[in-house]
Chains A and B, each alone.
Chain A
């Protein structure tokens, strides 16, 4: 069964450093998402991406964040200058254009630790 994959599974970085989190969505999916979950808190929406542009973003997704689909398979989240409060689990999700309840399929997540 096709699945969303994410790399790395765990990333440790120093405050102020740039990180890129990578995702490979399911191959025929057209909508892509990033969410994050700070330890013990709710899963929060960051951004949605469709047709090579951001379609919606949350207040969390400020100028430090960017997303890109550099080729036909990868979808990346870049954090330019990480802060301690960026430490969280980051989930990528994807879905098809219609049907199946607009269901989003999630990857296993990347745990980002900012020291």
Chain B
């Protein structure tokens, strides 16, 4: 079945760039998403990319998609302490009614 994998932990210094990586197996993915979850809170959509694109930039966020390798990344420029959270990669495939398949999440810790 479909699977989405992420590294579990990332530590980054304040002001540096963070890069969170994700791989997926579903070749019929249409949209791929990044969600952010702060402690005790819900899932906040950060950005998404359509599968026919290879890059999308949104302020401090840059999403790169390598469809051939089924690899997605999220780069956060000038990482701030408020960026400390769990980041989830998720995908939707063409043959579903919008079922999101999530990765396990990457915990990002920003140190001063």
The interface on chain B, measured as residues whose beta carbon lies within 8 A of the other chain's beta carbons, has a size of 25
Shortest beta-carbon distance from B107 to chain A in Å:
11
Residues of chain B in range 43-68 having any CB-CB distance to chain A below 8 Å: 43-45, 48-50
Assembled-state Cα–Cα distance A35/B90 (Å)? 13
What 0/1 readout, one digit per residue, does chain A (80-115) give for beta carbons within 8 Å of chain B? 000000000001010100000111111111000000
DSSP majority for the A interface?
strand
Residues of A within 8 A of B10 (CB): none
Residues of chain B in range 82-112 having any CB-CB distance to chain A below 8 Å: 88, 90, 92, 96-105
Residues of A within 8 A of B104 (CB): 41-42
**A101-B33, A101-B50, A103-B48 given; A43·B97 CB < 8 A:** no
Residues of A within 8 A of B33 (CB): 101, 103
Which of B30, B35, B49, B98 is A33 in contact with, Cβ under 8 Å? B98
Residues of B within 8 A of A107 (CB): 42
Residues of B within 8 A of A55 (CB): 97
Residues of B within 8 A of A109 (CB): 41-42
Residues of A within 8 A of B49 (CB): 101
Contact in complex: B42, A43 (CB < 8 Å): no
Residues of B within 8 A of A35 (CB): 100
Residues of B whose CB lies within 8 Å of any CB of A are 30-31, 33, 35, 41-45, 48-50, 88, 90, 92, 96-105
* Beyond known contacts A33-B98, A106-B35: 7 more, CB 8 A cutoff: A43-B102, A45-B100, A91-B42, A91-B43, A95-B98, A102-B31, A103-B45
